[in-house]
């Protein structure tokens, strides 16, 4: 269910790698036979081939320092059989040392061999992102390609989608920069809306403020971006982290809105009798109790996950509106201060709901297909429980 329900919490890097291998082989076949033979496959995510045959997962759970927050760990799974991953495999933390230990035992790396700087950087980026959403991965592409290029197949997002997603995020960024530069003759937000049209005498100012907007979009700690952070009396050294997190929250709000129709349909189904098995009359009472416990626990977890998202987005919008409409920066200043943790929480929570809703839509044909048997519904509820970071345990139903 996890593999087939989206990219948020699961990044299978094997398929792009296999596609690139096929393309590289075809290119070699068509090349001049007198040309020197080239080894390797260009554009793969990792230099080490074995890493390109792994599946990365985000494991959701409570943060170690606060049970009310969401924590996340990143793991990589190496299947025993690439043709059928359900036969099992080995998984480990995405920490380079732990990966190297497993690969050494499997004979996939030589004694004394080390990961390349490129591979270490990719592992670091995959571990620090709250989800594997293509938008977030693409927004860190510059870091991923600091040593060499990576094929666009790993990012899975078209230019049209990139522009569509970028627009609402950039609108918020532009409004914020305009507010922080009220003494300037240039309204950065209007400049963004108008496509950068401005009179000649304001060209220098426009270029300066546009550079700030662009640096925030890229998450770079430029002088203008640091000045913006200083204007909110925040730690200048944390400029890049704060701005990237804030941009991510804007994106996740957009993503949540795009999933809203599907989520509401899923919630209605979960709260109706359709979420109970139709073969319940033939089940023993103890089996019905176990099933009901599963469903009720899944419901409770979904409600809690949804509540985390809405509380953060409501607080964000109220704080932003107070800043823009009422010249009251206090709440937004505090929101930015906690933005990195809020970014992780809302990203993971939306990832959980998206995977759950996608799995439900696949299972029920968007709610049109009734599920008759408990044997089909039980694994789905266990899936909901698992992606919410909890193990299923059969406590006595009260």
Q: What is the pLDDT of residues 251-298, one digit of tens each?
A: 899 889 999 999 999 999 999 988 988 887 788 888 888 889 999 999
Non-local CB neighbours of 294 within 8 Å, separated by 6+ positions: 378, 381, 382, 385, 392
Average pLDDT over the chain, rounded to whole? Answer: 83
Mean pLDDT of 164-187: 72
Q: What is the pLDDT of residues 57-100, one digit of tens each?
A: 998 865 555 555 557 899 999 999 988 888 999 999 999 999 99
Q: How would residue 50 be classed by pLDDT, with cut points 50, 70 and 90?
A: very high
Torsion-angle region of residue 219: left (phi > 0), alpha (psi -120 to 50) or beta? left
Q: Report how far residue 333's alpha carbon sits from residue 227's, in angstroms, rounded to the nearest whole number.
A: 14
Q: Which residues pair with 70 in a beta bridge?
A: 62
3-state secondary structure 154-177: HCCCCHHHHHHHHHHHHHHHHHHH
Q: How would residue 37 be classed by pLDDT, with cut points 50, 70 and 90?
A: very low
43: pLDDT strictly greater than 80: yes
In the prediction, which pLDDT does 376 show?
87
H/E stretch holding 11 reads strand 10-12
| Domain residue ranges of the chain, discontinuous segments joined by + | 10-154, 165-231, 255-387
Q: What is the pLDDT of residues 363-379, one digit of tens each?
A: 998 888 887 788 889 99
Q: What is the pLDDT of residues 114-166, one digit of tens each?
A: 899 999 999 999 999 989 988 888 888 889 999 999 999 998 887 788 778 77
Higher pLDDT, 220 or 273: 273
Higher pLDDT, 196 or 21: 21
Identify whether the C-beta of residue 244 lies closer than 8 Å to the C-beta of residue 215. Answer: no
- Helix orientation angle between 285-326 and 239-270, rounded to the nearest 10 degrees: 140
Q: What is the pTM of this model?
A: 0.81
Q: Report how far residue 239's alpha carbon sits from residue 229's, in angstroms, rounded to the nearest whole number.
A: 6
């Amino acid at each position: 269910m996890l593999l087939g329900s989206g990219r948020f919490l699961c990044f299978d890097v094997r398929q792009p790698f296999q596609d690139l291998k096929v393309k590289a082989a075809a290119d070699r076949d068509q090349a001049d036979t007198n040309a020197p033979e080239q080894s390797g496959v260009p554009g793969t995510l990792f230099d080490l081939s074995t890493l390109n045959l792994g599946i990365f997962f985000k494991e959701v759970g409570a943060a170690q320092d606060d049970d009310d927050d969401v924590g996340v760990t990143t793991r990589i799974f190496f299947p025993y059989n690439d043709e059928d991953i359900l036969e099992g495999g080995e998984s480990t933390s995405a920490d380079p040392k732990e990966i190297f230990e497993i690969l050494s035992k499997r004979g996939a790396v030589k004694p004394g061999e080390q990961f390349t700087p490129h591979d270490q950087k990719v592992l670091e980026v995959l571990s620090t992102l709250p989800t594997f959403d293509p938008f977030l991965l693409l927004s860190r592409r510059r870091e991923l390609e600091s040593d060499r290029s990576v094929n666009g197949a790993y990012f899975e997002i078209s230019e049209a989608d990139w522009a569509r997603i970028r627009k609402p995020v950039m609108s918020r960024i532009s409004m914020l920069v305009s507010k922080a530069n009220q003494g300037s003759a240039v309204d950065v937000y209007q400049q963004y809306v108008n496509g950068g049209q401005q009179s000649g005498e304001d060209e220098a100012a426009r270029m300066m403020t546009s550079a700030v907007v662009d640096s925030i979009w890229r998450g770079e700690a430029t002088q203008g971006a640091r000045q913006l952070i200083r204007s909110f009396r925040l730690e200048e050294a944390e400029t890049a982290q704060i701005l990237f997190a804030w941009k991510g929250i804007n994106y996740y709000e957009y993503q949540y809105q795009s999933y809203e129709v599907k989520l509401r349909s899923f919630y209605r189904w979960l709260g109706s009798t359709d979420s109970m098995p139709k073969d319940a009359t033939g089940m023993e009472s103890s089996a019905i109790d176990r099933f009901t416990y599963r469903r009720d626990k899944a419901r409770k977890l979904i409600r809690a996950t949804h509540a985390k998202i809405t509380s953060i987005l409501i607080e964000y919008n109220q704080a932003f509106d107070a800043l823009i409409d009422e010249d009251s920066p206090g709440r937004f200043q505090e929101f930015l201060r906690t933005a990195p943790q809020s970014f992780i929480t809302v990203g993971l929570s939306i990832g959980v709901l998206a995977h759950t809703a996608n799995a439900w839509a696949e299972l029920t044909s968007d709610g049109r297909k009734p599920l008759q048997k408990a044997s089909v519904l039980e694994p789905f509820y266990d899936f909901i429980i698992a992606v919410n970071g909890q193990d299923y345990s059969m406590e006595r139903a009260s």
